[in-house]
Amino acid sequence: MNIIICVLLVISIIISAAALITGLKGKQGNDIALLDQKIDITAKRTDEALHNVSLQMQALTEKNYEQMLKINESLSANAEKQSQKIGEAITGMQQSNEKKLDEMRNTVNEKLDETLNRRISSSFKTVSEQLTLVYQSLGEMKTLSAGVTDNVKDLNRVLTNVKARGTWAEVQLGNILDETIPGMYETNVQTNPAYNGRVEFAVKIPNSQTDDIAYLPIDSKFPMEDYIRLCNASEQGDLPAMEAARKDLERRIKDEAKQIKQYVSSPSTTPFAIMYLATEGLYAEIASGKSALSEQLQAQGIMIAGPSTITALLNSLAMGFRTMAINKKATEVWKILGAAKTQYNKFGDLLAKARKKVDEAGKALDEADHRNSIIQKNLRNVEQLESSSANDILGLEE
């Protein structure tokens, strides 16, 4: 504001000087000197005024500078205070957030620990129960295995002796005959007058027209050595050995069939005889039709039967021969039995498949026993606890 006043003052002085000069132009030369003197005075006053204005301007500038410094200091102080307040607020927020995060973390940890402990306890309880069941099962399997081992040893003692093996097959066949046709058979019968040999069992077939009877020779066979060689070769996948063992088995069966054929002497016997094979596996192998041996034997008057088929076959024979004369109807009966034999062959195939499943189950049991041995071996080095401590750890009641 002072600067504006000074500028206006200077302008008014200049205008006054100009007006004075203009007014004096009409006067004479005597006044020129006086005018110059006034101009000099005016110029001096103007210089003084300008100097004063300059001093005022300088003072004003210094004052403004000082005010600017004060303003800057005030702004800096305010900014520092605001920054400090903001920092304190942020620090407070951080501390509050950290506190809340800690609380949330503790809550989550507690929940997780509780859930984890509950699940671990539940899982451990389940595992303990399963282990208890496993131990019980292993104990039962051990007991069963001991019994099976004893039975296998007894069976091996029987089967490794040829005479005992033959006796076992004969006893088995005798039991089947007792259950199916009691009183309708005889043992150790000489059915062929021209042959001194005696057949193990001879089923009595009555003649429907007379009181005479005809015998149906049944002899048991159990060529175990040849059959075991075939089974071993089959398990090992040795095809040449399988073929060789199968040929040996078939050769043995043919030789036995020739012997049984000598018991046939029509009309005192039926025109055919039965070869009883003591195991289902052996019967299934011969009746499978791989080499048509069953059909060849049937053409020679020898019918093969296993433990499962002999019962139905004997019942069919008994019922059939009661209703027809042996001498006149033998050929027709033979055809009927041939048709039945075809169905029995199919049944033999089913038995072979069933035997395969049983063998697979046996292998699975062997694998389970092997794994049990591994587990027991690994647990030998584990320190055994007292019963009470073990119950506490496993959560079991006394």
- pLDDT confidence of residue 173: 86
Which contiguous run of DSSP H or E holds residue 214? strand 213-221
- Report the range out of 14-23, 24-33, 62-71 with the highest average pLDDT: 62-71
Q: Which of 107-116, 228-237, 266-275, 313-322 is least confident?
A: 313-322
- Neighbouring-strand partners of residue 200: none
pLDDT at 213: 83
Give the pLDDT of residue 158.
42
Structure tokens at 322: 């009661």
Q: Is residue 385 scored above 50 in pLDDT?
A: no
Higher pLDDT, 34 or 27: 34
Q: Mean pLDDT, the chain, as a whole number?
A: 74
Kindly state the tokens that stand for 57: 């301007």
Q: What is the pLDDT of residues 319-336, one digit of tens each?
A: 765 565 455 556 666 666
The residue to which tokens 């520092």 are assigned = 80
Is the pTM here over 0.85, yes or no? Answer: no
Question: Once rounded to an integer, what is the mean pLDDT over residues 163-179?
Answer: 75
Look at residue 343 in the predicted model and tell me its pLDDT: 63
Cα 293 from Cα 300, distance rounded (Å): 11
Which residue, 166, 164, 202, is CA-closest to 184? 202
The span from the CA of 166 to the CA of 156, in Å, is 13
| pLDDT tens string 279-310 | 888 888 888 766 788 888 888 889 888 888 88
Task: Please choose, from the candidates 170, 237, 207, the residue with its C-alpha nearest in 3D space to the C-alpha of residue 320.
Answer: 207
Say whether pLDDT at 206 is over 70: yes
Lowest mean pLDDT among 75-84, 175-184, 209-218, 383-392: 383-392
Mean pLDDT of 180-193: 87
- 178 in Cβ contact with 185 (< 8 Å): no
Name the token pair of 215.
């015998």
pLDDT at 261: 92
Segment 148-173 mean pLDDT: 58
Q: Give the SS3 label for residue 276.
A: strand
Q: Kindly state the percentage of the chain with pLDDT values over 90.
A: 3
Does the pLDDT of residue 159 top 50, yes or no? no
Omega before 206 within 30 of 0, i.e. cis? no
Q: What is the pLDDT of residues 43-77, one digit of tens each?
A: 777 777 777 777 877 888 888 888 888 888 888 88
CA dihedral over 254, 255, 260, 263, signed as positive or negative: positive
Q: Supply 27's token pair.
A: 């006067």
If one counts every other C-beta atom within 10 angstroms of the C-beta of residue 179, the result is 10
Long-range contacts of 323-332 (CB under 8 A, 24+ apart): 323/208, 324/208, 325/207, 325/208, 325/209, 326/205, 326/207, 326/214, 326/267, 326/270, 327/207, 327/214, 327/266, 327/267, 330/266, 330/270, 330/271, 331/271
For residue 211, what pLDDT is reported?
A: 67
Higher pLDDT, 249 or 317: 249
Digit-coded pLDDT (tens) for 128-140: 777 777 777 777 7
Give the distance, in angstroms, between the CA of residue 328 and the centroid of all CA atoms in the same chain.
66
